[in-house]
Structure 1
Amino acid sequence: MPDISTLLLLAAVFLCISYCSASVGLGGGSCYTALLAVSGVAPLAIPLISLSLNLIVTSAGSYQFIRHRHASWKIITPFLVTSMPMAYLGGSLHLPKGVFYGILFASLTIVVIRIFFYQKTSLSWNLKGWQKLALSLIAGALLGFIAGVVGIGGGIYLVPFILIVGLGTEKQAAASGAIFIWLNSITGLIARLHHHSVSLLDYYPLMIAVAVGGMLGAALGATSLKPRTMQKILGTTIIIALCLLIQKLV
C-alpha cells in the first residue's frame, strides 16, 4: 500500500480523472489502473480497487444520464446479457503482469487512434436488425471478459464501439458506457472478492475523491458538454494512461 502522502496525491489526481471520465460516461478505470501500478500497489489489488472506484463514479453517471433520458435500453441490453457472465469469469482469473499491461495498452491505443485520427463518429455499415443484435452479443461477451480480466468496467471499449458501429448517438453511447461499467464492475468485483482477499478500507481517500469528481462530471456530461468535447476529454484521459503504462512495458 502507498504511504499517506502518495495516497493523498493519488486522491487529488483521481478526482480530476473521475470528473473527466464521468462526463463521457466512463469510470476512469484505465487511468486508475495505470496510476496504481506506478504507485507501488500490489498487482493483485489493482483490479479490485479500480473496479470499486469505477462503481462509485458510474453510480452518479448512470443516474444523471438516465435522469436526462439519454439511456437507451435497446442499445445496452444485448451487451449486458453476455458481458456480465463473462466479466465474472474474467474477474476470477489472475493474468501475469506482462499480459495484463499488454492487453490494457493495446486496447487504449486503438481507442486513441479512432478518436484523434478519424473524424467520423460512425461507419457506414448497412446491418440488419439481427446482425446488430449478434454483433452486440459477441462484442458484449468479449468486452465483458476483457473488463473482468484487466479490472476495469469495459465502458472505455464500449463507448467508442457504439459510435464506430453507429448504434447510437454520443449521449447514448456515454449513457450506455456508464451503465455498462456500473453493472460489469459489480460483477467483476463480486468475482474478485470471492477469489481474492484485499482490504478496500485502506483506500478510502480515493473513494471519496472519485465520488466527488464523478458527481460533478456526470452532471456536466449529461447536460451541457458538446459531443466533440466529450471525445477530446476521453482521448486526453486515455493518452495520460498510455504514457504511464509505457513505463510498465519497457
Structure 2
Amino acid sequence: MPDLNLIGWMYLATAVGVVAFFYSSVGHGGATGYLAALALLGVAPASARVAVLITNVLVAGVAWWRFRQAGNSDWKILLMFAITSVPCAMIGSKVHISPHAYKLVLGAVLTVAGSVLLLRSRWQTDDVALRKFLWPVALVIGVVLGFLAGLTGIGGGVFLSPLLYLLRWVKPKTTGGISAGFIVLNSVAGLAGAGWGKITHAGPLLWLTLPAVAGALLGTHLGARRWSSVTFSRVLAGVLVFAGGKLLWEAGRG
C-alpha cells in the first residue's frame, strides 16, 4: 500500500488522468504509463498490479466502446487474436520470472517500433492499401502476445498495435478499436489468473480509476472521431516510444 501525502496523491491522480488521455486516444489502456507513475513514487509494481489491471479494463473499455461507435473496430480480427491470447494471458499471469530481460528486450522493440511508425507517418495518407487477413498468423500472434500480457501485468495493446499497423490488415484507426478490445479481454484474463480475491487488496489505488476514466472519455473523443489517420499514427508512435523508454529505464535501474 503506497504511503503518500496529499501532494503525492494529487500528482498520481493527475499523472494517471494524463496517461489515460493519451493512451486511450489510440485504443490503449495505459498500464505501462500507470506503472511508470507509481514507480516514480516508489510504489512497487507487484503491489499495484491488480489496481493497474482494473484501471486498464475501464480505460480500454471506454476506448473500445468509443472506437466501435465510430466504426473503427473489427470483431472478426479481434476474435482470432482473443481465441488464443485470453487463455495464454491467464497462464502468463501465473508465471513469475526476473523482469529485467523482458523489459530490456520489449523496451527496445517498442522504442524501435514507435520510431519506425513515426518516420512512416510522415509519408502516410488516410488511404492505406490493405493486405489480406491471415487468421493462422493471428492465432500464433495471440499466443505470444497473450502470454506476454499476462506475464507483464498489462493488456498487451502496446504489442498488438504496431504489429497491426505493419501488417496492414486494417486501417490505422481500426487498430485502436481492435487493440482496446484485446486489452480488455487480456486484462480480465490476467485478473482471473492472479485471483479475483486480490481485488480487495487494491485499496486506495482504486480511486485512481476516476481520473483515468475522465481522461479516457476526453482522449477517445479525439482519437476515435476527430483525429486523422496521420495524427492517430503519430500519437500512437509517441505512446510506443514512451512505453519502450519506460521499460528500458526500469531495466537500467535493475
Class of the TM-score when normalised by the shorter of the 2 chains: 0.7 to 0.9
Unaligned stretches of 5+ in structure 2?
Answer: none
CA distance in 1, matches of 2:105, 2:93: 15
1:236 aligns with 2:238: yes
Equivalences, count: 247
> Shift in Å at residue 47 of structure 1?
3.1
Relative distance call for 1:137 and 1:204 in structure 2 (3 A) is same
CA distance in 2, matches of 1:106, 1:196: 32
The aligned runs of 1:3-152 (5 Å cut-off) are: 3-4=4-5, 5-99=7-101, 101-119=103-121, 132-152=134-154
Q: C-alpha root-mean-square deviation of aligned residues, in Å? A: 2.5
Please, which of 205, 211, 214 is the counterpart of residue 213 of structure 2? 211
Structure 2 match to 1:185: 187
Aligned-partner SS, 1:179? helix
Q: Is the 8 A contact 2:63 2:177 kept in 1?
A: yes
> Shift in Å at residue 197 of structure 1?
7.4
Output the amino acid matched with 1:81.
I
CA distance in 1, matches of 2:167, 2:219: 26
TM-score (norm 2): 0.87
> Shift in Å at residue 67 of structure 1?
1.8
Relative distance call for 1:124 and 1:150 in structure 2 (3 A) is same
Q: Is the 8 A contact 1:75 1:168 kept in 2?
A: no
Relative distance call for 1:106 and 1:196 in structure 2 (3 A) is farther
Q: Residue by residue, what CA displacement relative to the aligned partner does 1:163-200 show, whole Å, maximum 9, x if unpaired? A: 11111011211100111101111111111235967722
Q: Is the 8 A contact 2:104 2:248 kept in 1?
A: no
Q: Residue by residue, what CA displacement relative to the aligned partner does 1:37-85 show, whole Å, maximum 9, x if unpaired? A: 3321123224323222211101111111122222211221110000000
Aligned-partner SS, 1:26? coil
Q: Is the 8 A contact 1:8 1:205 kept in 2?
A: no
Structure 2 match to 1:164: 166
Q: Is the 8 A contact 1:38 1:244 kept in 2?
A: no
Aligned-partner SS, 1:44? helix
Aligned-partner SS, 1:32? helix
Percent of aligned pairs with the same amino acid? 27
Aligned-partner SS, 1:45? helix
Output the amino acid matched with 2:241.
I
Q: Residue by residue, what CA displacement relative to the aligned partner does 1:14-53 show, whole Å, maximum 9, x if unpaired? A: 1111111111111111222222233211232243232222
Output the amino acid matched with 2:116.
R
Output the amino acid matched with 2:4.
D
Output the amino acid matched with 1:221.
G
Please, which of 248, 251, 254 is the counterpart of residue 249 of structure 1? 251
CA distance in 2, matches of 1:103, 1:47: 21
TM-score (norm 1): 0.88
1:176 aligns with 2:178: yes
